C-alpha cells in the first residue's frame, strides 16, 4: 500500500470542473461523446496558463530552444518512416462473456477484470486515426491524424537549422493536438482520444546524450514542483527494457499520484538518432549536422521530454484542491500557483449603486489591461470570497464606502485570508509585485 494520499476524489474534481466552468462533456446536449471534453471559460484560461508556463520555461528563458507549430496532417510516408504504421499498436483483448474491451498490458491475469469471463487472444490494434484528404475516399487518399507532435519537428530539422543558426545542443518545442484511438480512454481528461501535447526534441552530439537526458529529467521534474505540485505526489519511474518504445534507448516517466494511483504525466525518452535516420532514408534527404569544431558530419541524438497539457492541467487542478474547516462549514479553495490561476484578481464592490460602482468599474478597467479579472457584485461578501477561493483567484479587491473617501481598497489574499489596505493609485504596482513569477 502506498502512503501517499490523493488530494481528493476524481468525482469531486469532475463536479467542480463542470459546476464552475472548467471542463464540460463534449456535445453534452446530444448525450456526450465518450472521452471527449471541452474546456469552459475557466478551463481554457487554466490550460492556456499551463501551456504558457511551459513555453516560458523551455523556450523563452533559454537561448538554446526555438518553437514550432507544425500541421496535424502530414505526408503518409512520415508515419511509415517513424514506425507508427507498423508498430504504434496496443494489444487488445475482448471478454467473451460481457464483451468489454481491455488493453492486455493494463490487466493482471488472464480473466476479464469486469466479470471474470474468458478473454480472447490479444490482437494488435493500431491507434492512429485515419481520414481522407480530398473528395475521393480511396486508399490513395488516406492520411493520418498525428498521434504525436514530435514528427513535425523531425521533418523540419533542416528548416530550423538553416533559418536559425542554432548550434548543437539545441531543441525545438511544440504544443499541439494529437490523436490516438485509445482502446480504453477514461479517468476524466487523463486518457482521451484527442489531446494536447507539449513536446521538445532536444538534439545533442552522440555520446553526450545520457548526461543531457539526466539534466532534462531533473529540470522537467522541478517544473511541476515550482508550479505548486506537492513533492510527495510526484515520482520518477524508469521504463523496463521490455516497455521501451521501438525508438528509445531509455525512458523515464514523471508520474503523479492521481486518484486512481500513480500514472504518467510526462515521458522523457532518449530517442537516439532513430527518427532523423529513418526520415533521411525514407525521404532521400540528408538530415545531419555539420560540427564546425570537430569538422565532421553526424546525425544528432535526441532527448524528448513529452508532456500532456491535459494531464498536466488535471494534475494541477487536483493538487490545488483543498478543503479547510471554516467556522461550521468547509472552505473549498484551489491553491493554484499564481501563474496558473484563471483569474488573477476579483473586484468585489460592497454596493451595486453609484458612486461605488463607478469607482469599482474604473479599477476593473485598469487591471484588465494586465490580467484576467472577474467582477462580482452579487450576494454577501463572504459568499463572494468563497466563490473566488473555489476557482483559485489569488487576490480579491473589495471596494467599500470608505474607499470613496480614502481612495484605498482592501486586498484579500486567498491562501492566508489576510487583508491589507492599499491606495488605488498603487494597486497595479502592488499586484504586479505579488503576481510576478
Ligand atoms: P500511456 O502509457 O499513458 O498510454 P504513453 O506512454 O503512450 O502514455 P507518450 O507517448 O509518452 O504516452 O505521450 C507523452 C505524453 O502525452 C504522456 O505523458 C501524456 O501526458 C500525454 N498523452 C499520451 N496519451 C494521452 C491520452 N490518450 N490522453 C491524454 N494525454 C495523453
Q: Measure the CA–CA gap between 303 and 196, rounded to whole angstroms.
A: 20
Smallest CA separation from ligand 1 atom 25, residue = 191
Report the predicted TM-score, pTM, of the whole model to 2 decimal places. Answer: 0.95
Q: Ligand 1: which residue has its CA nearest to atom 21? A: 308
Closest CA to ligand 1's atom 11: 267
**What is the pLDDT, as a whole number, of residue 202?**
98
Residues 143, 148, 150: CA angle, nearest 5 degrees: 110
Average pLDDT in the 187-191 region? Answer: 96
Buried b (16+ CB within 10 A) or exposed e, 397-419: bbbbeebeeeebbbbbebeeeee
Cα dihedral: 298, 78, 50, 227 (round 10): -40
199 lines ligand 1 (CB under 6 A): no
Q: Please choose from 47, 127, 191, 258 the residue to mutate so as to test ligand 1's pocket, defined by most ligand atoms within 8 A of CB.
A: 191
Question: Residue 312 CA: which ligand 1 atom is closest?
Answer: 20
Give the nearest ligand 1 atom to 264 CA.
Answer: 18
Query: Is the CB–ligand 1 distance for residue 182 below 6 Å?
Result: yes
**What's the average model confidence in pLDDT over 111-117?**
91
Asked whether 264 lines ligand 1 (CB < 6 A), one says yes
Cell matching residue 19: 459546476
Examine residue 121 and say whether the peptide bond preceding it is cis (omega within 30 degrees of 0). Answer: no
How many C-beta atoms lie closer than 10 Å to residue 1's C-beta?
3
Whole-angstrom distance, CA of residue 86 vs CA of residue 123: 14
Q: What is the mean pLDDT of residues 195-206?
A: 98
pLDDT tens digits, residue range 245-300? 877 889 999 999 999 999 999 999 999 999 999 999 999 999 999 999 999 999 99
Q: State which of 264, 268, 309 you would mutate to test the pocket of ligand 1, scoring each by most atoms of that ligand within 8 A of its C-beta.
A: 264
CA atoms within 13 A on the CB side of 298: 18
Q: What is the pLDDT of residue 433?
A: 97
Ligand 1: which atom is nearest the Cα of residue 251?
Answer: 11
DSSP 73: B
Please tell me the residue having the least CA distance from ligand 1 atom 1: 264
Is the Cα dihedral 141, 145, 151, 157 positive or negative?
A: positive
Query: Ligand 1 centroid vs 308 CA: distance in angstroms?
Result: 7
Cβ of 308 below 6 Å from ligand 1: yes
Which atom of ligand 1 is nearest to 193's Cα? Answer: 27
Residues 331-341 pLDDT 10s:
999 999 999 99
What is the average pLDDT value for the chain, to the nearest integer? 95
Q: Is the CB of 152 under 6 A from ligand 1?
A: no
For the chain, how are helix, strand and coil distributed in percent, rounded to 5? 35, 30, 35
Residues 6+ apart with CB under 8 A from 214: none
Q: Tell me the per-residue pLDDT of 127-174, one tens digit each, with 9 for 90 and over.
A: 999 999 988 888 888 999 999 999 999 999 999 999 998 999 999 999
Q: Looking at the predicted structure, is the pLDDT value of residue 107 above 60?
A: yes
Nearest to 204, CA basis, from 56, 59, 64, 60:
64
67-104 per-position pLDDT tens digit: 999 999 999 999 999 999 998 888 889 999 998 888 88
Q: Is 306 in the pocket of ligand 1 (CB under 6 A)?
A: yes
- Rounded distance from Cα 246 to ligand 1 centre (Å): 15
- Report yes or no: 92 and 101 within 8 Å, Cβ to Cβ: yes
Look at residue 2 in the predicted model and tell me its pLDDT: 56
Grid cell for residue 400 = 467599500
- Give the E-state strand segments of 180-328 in sequence order: 194-204, 234-238, 250-258, 261-272, 289-291, 296-298, 301-308, 321-326
Dihedral, 427, 433, 436, 437 alpha carbons, nearest 10: -150
In short, whether 197's Cβ falls inside 6 Å of ligand 1 is yes
**Residue 102 burial (10 A CB sphere; 0-12, 13-18, 19+):** buried
- Site to probe by mutation for ligand 1, drawn from 234, 260, 267, 309 as the one with most ligand atoms within 8 Å of Cβ, is 267
Nearest to 315 by CA among 416, 188, 435, 405: 188
Query: Which cell goes with 408?
Result: 484605498
Pocket flag, ligand 1, residue 220 (CB < 6 Å): no
C-alpha 73 chain-centroid distance:
21
Centre of ligand 1 from the C-alpha of residue 196, in Å = 10
Residue minimizing CA distance to atom 8 of ligand 1: 264
Sequence-ordered strand ranges (E) for 13-148: 23-25, 37-39, 65-68, 89-94, 101-103, 123-126, 130-132, 142-144
Q: Is the dihedral of CA 245, 170, 54, 234 positive or negative?
A: positive
CA distances, 262 to each of 190, 204, 232, 251, 252 (Å): 12, 31, 11, 17, 14
Question: Does the structure show a pLDDT above 60 at 1?
Answer: no
Buried b (16+ CB within 10 A) or exposed e, 67-90: ebebeeebebebbebbebbeebeb
Dist. CA 306 → ligand 1 center (Å): 8
Atom of ligand 1 nearest to the CA of 254: 18
CA 82–ligand 1 middle distance (angstroms): 17
Quote the ligand 1 centre to 339 CA distance (angstroms): 24
- pLDDT tens for each residue of 40-77: 999 999 999 999 999 999 999 999 999 999 999 999 99
Tell me how many degrees the CA angle 278-151-309 measures, rounded to the nearest 5. 150
Amino acid at each position: 500500500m502506498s502512503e501517499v494520499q490523493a488530494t481528493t476524489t476524481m468525482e469531486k474534481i469532475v463536479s467542480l470542473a463542470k459546476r464552475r466552468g472548467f471542463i464540460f462533456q463534449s456535445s453534452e446536449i446530444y448525450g456526450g461523446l465518450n472521452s471527449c471534453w471541452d474546456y469552459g471559460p475557466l478551463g481554457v484560461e487554466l490550460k492556456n496558463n499551463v501551456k504558457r508556463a511551459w513555453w516560458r520555461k523551455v523556450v523563452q528563458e533559454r537561448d538554446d530552444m526555438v518553437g514550432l507549430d507544425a500541421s496535424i496532417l502530414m505526408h503518409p510516408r512520415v508515419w511509415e518512416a517513424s514506425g507508427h504504421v507498423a508498430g504504434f499498436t496496443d494489444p487488445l483483448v475482448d471478454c467473451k462473456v460481457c464483451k468489454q474491451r481491455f488493453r492486455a498490458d493494463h490487466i493482471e491475469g488472464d480473466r476479464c477484470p469486469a466479470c471474470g469471463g474468458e478473454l480472447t487472444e490479444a490482437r494488435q490494434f493500431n491507434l492512429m486515426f485515419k481520414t481522407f484528404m480530398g473528395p475521393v475516399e480511396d486508399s490513395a487518399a488516406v492520411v493520418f491524424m498525428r498521434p504525436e507532435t514530435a514528427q513535425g519537428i523531425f521533418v523540419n530539422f533542416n528548416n530550423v537549422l538553416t533559418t536559425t543558426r542554432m548550434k548543437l545542443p539545441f531543441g525545438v518545442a511544440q504544443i499541439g493536438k494529437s490523436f490516438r484511438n485509445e482502446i480504453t480512454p477514461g479517468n476524466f481528461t487523463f486518457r482521451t482520444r484527442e489531446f494536447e501535447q507539449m513536446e521538445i526534441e532536444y538534439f545533442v552530439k552522440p555520446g553526450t546524450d545520457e548526461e543531457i537526458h539526466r539534466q532534462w529529467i531533473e529540470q522537467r521534474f522541478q517544473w511541476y514542483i515550482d508550479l505548486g505540485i506537492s513533492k510527495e505526489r510526484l515520482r520518477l519511474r524508469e521504463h523496463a527494457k521490455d516497455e521501451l518504445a521501438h525508438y528509445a534507448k531509455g525512458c523515464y516517466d514523471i508520474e503523479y499520484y492521481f486518484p486512481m494511483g500513480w500514472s504518467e504525466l510526462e515521458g522523457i525518452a532518449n530517442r537516439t538518432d532513430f527518427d532523423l535516420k529513418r526520415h533521411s532514408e525514407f525521404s532521400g534527404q540528408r538530415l545531419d549536422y555539420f560540427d564546425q569544431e570537430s569538422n565532421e558530419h553526424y546525425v544528432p541524438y535526441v532527448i524528448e521530454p513529452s508532456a500532456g497539457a491535459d494531464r498536466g492541467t488535471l494534475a494541477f487542478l487536483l493538487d490545488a484542491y483543498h478543503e479547510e474547516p471554516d467556522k461550521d462549514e468547509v472552505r473549498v479553495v484551489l491553491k493554484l500557483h499564481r501563474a496558473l490561476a484563471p483569474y488573477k484578481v476579483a473586484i468585489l464592490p460592497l454596493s451595486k449603486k453609484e458612486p461605488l460602482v463607478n469607482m469599482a468599474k474604473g479599477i476593473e478597467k485598469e487591471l484588465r489591461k494586465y490580467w484576467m479579472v472577474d467582477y462580482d457584485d452579487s450576494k454577501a461578501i463572504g459568499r463572494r470570497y468563497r466563490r473566488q477561493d473555489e476557482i483559485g483567484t489569488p487576490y480579491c479587491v473589495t471596494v467599500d464606502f470608505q474607499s470613496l473617501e480614502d481612495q484605498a481598497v482592501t486586498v484579500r489574499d486567498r491562501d492566508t485570508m489576510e487583508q491589507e489596505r492599499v491606495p488605488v493609485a498603487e494597486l497595479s504596482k502592488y499586484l504586479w509585485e505579488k503576481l510576478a513569477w
